[in-house]
Homo-oligomer: A and B are copies of this chain.
């Protein structure tokens, strides 16, 4: 048994069941070892950002660690943007990054680079294995680090000789136990309950990712009913449950001036599963944090704590009503030739099957869906928490691998979809039940808004050329066909409804280019 084989056995013992890989020469022993450890499913991505994004999607839906295999510094670099997103989403991922053999590193071969320097910013843990006999234990430590609340990517750098050298099979490390999320103390809950009672409607509760699951949402609605406080959600949570009668709350506005206005009258902000809200970008004359200085900040539970449990305890401490009914209605199913973001959103909310996983990288075009989704059947929604575009299609791959019995819907802006379009090929190869809806507005619309906000009312040819996606227009039907994914274009509501129905009735991936 070599180091790579012992590593894979150890990872499987520690709950790793999927490995999203884009390997090279230095990872050949890791690749071969996957044939000796069949508990781990190997899945090829044709670009590293597909592999890391898929690992993120898998981890968000399975809440178990996903592994990746990446090729030295440049291979890791190609996967870093989606590891950035995974770090912000607290997704447990174990990156296995091959490196030159220990004795070959000083020769400064062409592919040599400082992998630790690259890995650090997007990892919660980075380690380089020194000897073959350490590799399996390092792998177990990586799993533990990735799962340590609140979780995140752990990067293990594996010099190739530690993978190819023989090890003593008896020395397998025993599985490690990552710690559970910490519970918030009853005293702290009582303190927060007292504050909320005192401040009533002047208080606002901000829910973050862990509080946005079913139990957290129900508890938060009870807290609101008992105290009159407002409840809002963080801007782009990593995973939230929605629809099927679950309570729904507005999110903190994206632009700081609107967020500032929304909190202007608040005297108390309680955060649960998240931290003090922060503006996505800094703008002249706007603060980094929209919360006014006069508003006290109290953390009920941080991202590393069990926020849903804390909210439930808070509702009990407040003697809140047992349940709060939420009743919303869908607009009619659109038909005819009119087709914009509103019709698209209404149609999708109408037709999406029970238990879907919606991967939302719709940027500016998804608003029409968001307002209707609360009335849709129960589903999970995965957002662009880290802000690095190009996560949608890869995350859809991973979510579909994690949840083979659920339909995955990737709501994908066209501009950001182009960053990691290679994910379509993996969907086809693995026959994943993914419905990709490309929202084709053929612009980086968000950047055109931002240019306007920067005072450029009439962009010149340079600025226009860097923000529009026409000349030539992207043809997503051809792109999908090139990677083996069935696709069609919809330019009317009728066409879109028909395409959605067909996709939901068909196993495997389909792509709908929605020209809106």
Spell out A's residues near B (CB within 8 Å). Answer: 21, 23-26, 28-29, 31-32, 34-35, 38, 42, 44, 46-47, 49, 69, 73-75, 77-78, 80-81, 84-85, 88, 100-101, 103-104, 106-111, 113-115, 117-118, 120-122, 160-161, 164, 236, 278-282, 284, 288-289, 385-388, 390, 415, 418-419, 421-422, 425, 428-429, 446-447, 450-451, 453-454, 456, 459-463, 465-467, 469, 471-479, 481-484
Contacts and interface: CB of A to CB of B under 8 A. Distances in A.
Contacts of A466: 21, 23, 31, 34, 42, 44, 69
A484 B472 contact: yes
A474 B161 contact: no
Nearest to A89: B110
- 5 A-B pairs with the lowest CB-CB distances in the bound complex, closest first: A472-B484, A104-B282, A35-B460, A74-B388, A479-B482
A470 B376 CA distance: 38
A472 B430 CA distance: 10
B81 A164 contact: no
A193 to B, nearest CB: 29
Contacts of A115: 121
A469 B429 CA distance: 9
Given A42-B462, A472-B483, 12 more contacts: A24-B447, A32-B454, A32-B456, A44-B465, A75-B81, A78-B419, A80-B80, A117-B120, A118-B121, A425-B474, A475-B484, A479-B483
Q: Which of A31, A110, A115, A461 counts the most B-chain CB atoms under 10 A from its CB?
A: A110
Contacts of A23: 447, 466-467
Contacts of A429: 471-472
Contact of A474 (B74, B114, B483): B483
B388 A451 contact: no
Contacts of A42: 462, 465-466
Given A32-B459, A447-B25, A386 B111 contact: yes
A34 B474 contact: no
Q: Number of copies of this chain in the oligomer?
A: 2
A467 B31 contact: yes
Given A118-B118, A482-B476, A282 B161 contact: yes
A121 B456 CA distance: 36
5 contacts: A31-B447, A88-B110, A107-B279, A429-B472, A478-B481
Given A108-B278, A279-B104, A289-B107, A164 B479 contact: no
Given A28-B451, A447-B24, A451-B31, A387 B111 contact: yes
B25 A446 contact: yes
Nearest to A83: B77
A164 B26 CA distance: 45
B161 A284 contact: yes
A340 B100 CA distance: 33
Nearest to A110: B387
Nearest to A468: B44
A474 to B, nearest CB: 6
B471 A475 contact: no
Contacts of A122: 77, 113
B107 A278 contact: yes
A389 B143 CA distance: 29
A219 B280 CA distance: 58
Contacts of A25: 280-281, 446-447, 450
Contact of A462 (B31, B78, B164, B467): B31
A347 to B, nearest CB: 25
B34 A288 contact: no
B463 A34 contact: yes
B32 A463 contact: yes
Contacts of A469: 46
Nearest to A453: B28
A475 B482 contact: yes
B454 A164 contact: yes
Contacts of A454: 28-29, 32, 164
A460 B38 CA distance: 11
Nearest to A102: B282
Q: Which of A118, A164, A462 counts the most B-chain CB atoms under 10 A from its CB?
A: A462
Q: Which of A85, A164, A419 counts the most B-chain CB atoms under 10 A from its CB?
A: A419
Nearest to A32: B456
Contacts of A278: 107-110
B111 A447 contact: no
Contacts of A113: 84, 121-122
B463 A31 contact: yes
Nearest to A235: B110
A279 B160 CA distance: 14
Contacts of A473: 484
